[in-house]
């Protein structure tokens, strides 16, 4: 009962971007289990995530939008307001990573990472924040950052990703300060290495190089992020805003 009171999400509508697979899919399922209606925004639909949530007795639907496209995001968010009446929670998750040294990466690659990871989160937060303010919703936004926003990963080079995630952490603080007067809380989540399709593409020798650098000598599982997200989106974190929550198995403390 007490846990339900502080962590429960009954009656809340939560939007998850990039929820067709990986961390977004797992968090969408976790939010639904905590009682939220979940709307997944993805580029090509998230039928599998919707099916998994409904099979568990939850409530979900999906909409298509590219988070870098202002018009598509506006249309999707307007559709959610029409169907669900309001948005209480945004898990701003969609992102990409390109492993290339600065001298090898093209400017187009730099731009695509910054565009999706930083500008995409800005477009989504702005559009959803506007609906929260207009509807008087004291909502919560969790922006997906990464430990790469605080440290430089080795041995792979990924300057665009690291810079984008450092940007997300400071965007989060900026929005938290700007919207605190509306009762909207904005925090970021910074995972360490998590086993998902994004990291499955990584060559085996790179994963072997990471292993001794991880104090727990293993990658995290997406489900190990759910409790931190539930904390950040629920009344449990009522006095927490502008914070970056690092869930990295101790990577950044050594």
Residue 239 appears among annotated catalytic residues: no
194 contacts ligand NAD (rule: CB under 6 A): yes
43 contacts ligand NAD (rule: CB under 6 A): yes
Closest C-alpha to 15, from 137, 155, 98:
137
Residues with Cβ < 8 Å from 66, sequence gap 6 or more? 43, 72, 73
Which is catalytic among the residues 161, 188, 190, 251? 161
Spatial separation of the C-alpha atoms in residues 61 and 41, rounded to whole Å: 9
> Closer to ligand NAD at the Cβ: 32 or 194?
194
Q: Cβ 222 to ligand NAD, closest distance in Å?
A: 7
Indicate which single residue of 9, 14, 18, 232 sits in contact with ligand NAD (rule: CB under 6 A). 18
Helix 47-55 / helix 22-33 crossing angle, nearest 10 deg: 30
143 contacts ligand NAD (rule: CB under 6 A): no
The continuous run of DSSP H or E covering 176 comes out as: helix 159-179
- DSSP state, residue 222: G
Indicate which single residue of 37, 62, 66, 88 sits in contact with ligand NAD (rule: CB under 6 A). 66
139 contacts ligand NAD (rule: CB under 6 A): no
Indicate which single residue of 84, 119, 150, 199 sits in contact with ligand NAD (rule: CB under 6 A). 199
Indicate which single residue of 13, 49, 93, 237 sits in contact with ligand NAD (rule: CB under 6 A). 93
Choose one: 78-86, 196-204, 208-216, 231-239; the region binding ligand NAD (CB under 6 A).
196-204
Neighbours of 252 (CB within 10 A): 14
202 contacts ligand NAD (rule: CB under 6 A): no
Instruction: Tell me the β-bridge partners of 190.
Output: 246
Which is catalytic among the residues 42, 146, 148, 190? 146
Indicate which single residue of 30, 139, 191, 249 sits in contact with ligand NAD (rule: CB under 6 A). 191
Place of tokens 């599982």: 221
C-beta of residue 254 within 8 angstroms of C-beta of residue 215? yes
For residue 10, count CB atoms less than 10 angstroms from its CB and return exposed for 0-12, middle for 13-18, buried for 19 or more.
exposed
The continuous run of DSSP H or E covering 89 comes out as: strand 89-92
Task: Give the active site residues.
Answer: 146, 161, 165
| Binding footprint of ligand NAD on the chain (CB under 6 A) | 17-18, 20-24, 42-43, 66-68, 93-97, 116, 120, 144, 146, 191, 193-194, 196-199
């Amino acid at each position: 009962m007490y846990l339900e009171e502080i962590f429960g999400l009954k009656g809340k509508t939560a939007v998850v971007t990039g929820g067709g697979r990986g961390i977004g899919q797992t968090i969408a399922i976790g939010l639904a289990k905590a009682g939220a209606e979940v709307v997944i925004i993805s580029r090509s639909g998230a039928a599998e995530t919707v099916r998994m949530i409904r099979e568990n007795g939850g409530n979900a639907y999906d909409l298509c939008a590219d988070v870098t496209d202002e018009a598509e995001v506006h249309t999707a968010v307007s559709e959610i307001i029409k169907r669900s009446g309001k948005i209480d929670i945004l898990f701003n998750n969609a992102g990409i990573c390109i492993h290339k040294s600065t001298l090898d990466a093209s400017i187009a690659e730099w731009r695509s990472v910054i565009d999706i990871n930083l500008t995409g989160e800005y477009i989504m937060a702005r559009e959803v924040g506007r609906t929260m303010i207009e509807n008087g919703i004291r909502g919560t936004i969790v922006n997906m950052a990464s430990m790469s926003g605080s440290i430089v990963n080795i041995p792979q080079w990924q300057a665009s990703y690291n810079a984008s995630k450092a940007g997300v952490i400071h965007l989060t603080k900026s929005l938290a300060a700007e919207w605190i007067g509306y009762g909207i809380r904005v925090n970021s989540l910074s995972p360490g290495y998590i086993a998902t399709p994004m990291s499955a593409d990584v060559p085996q020798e790179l994963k072997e190089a990471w292993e001794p650098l991880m104090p727990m000598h293993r990658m995290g599982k997406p489900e190990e992020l759910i409790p931190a997200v539930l904390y950040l989106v629920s009344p449990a974190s009522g006095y927490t805003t502008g914070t970056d929550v690092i869930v990295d198995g101790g990577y950044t403390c050594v």
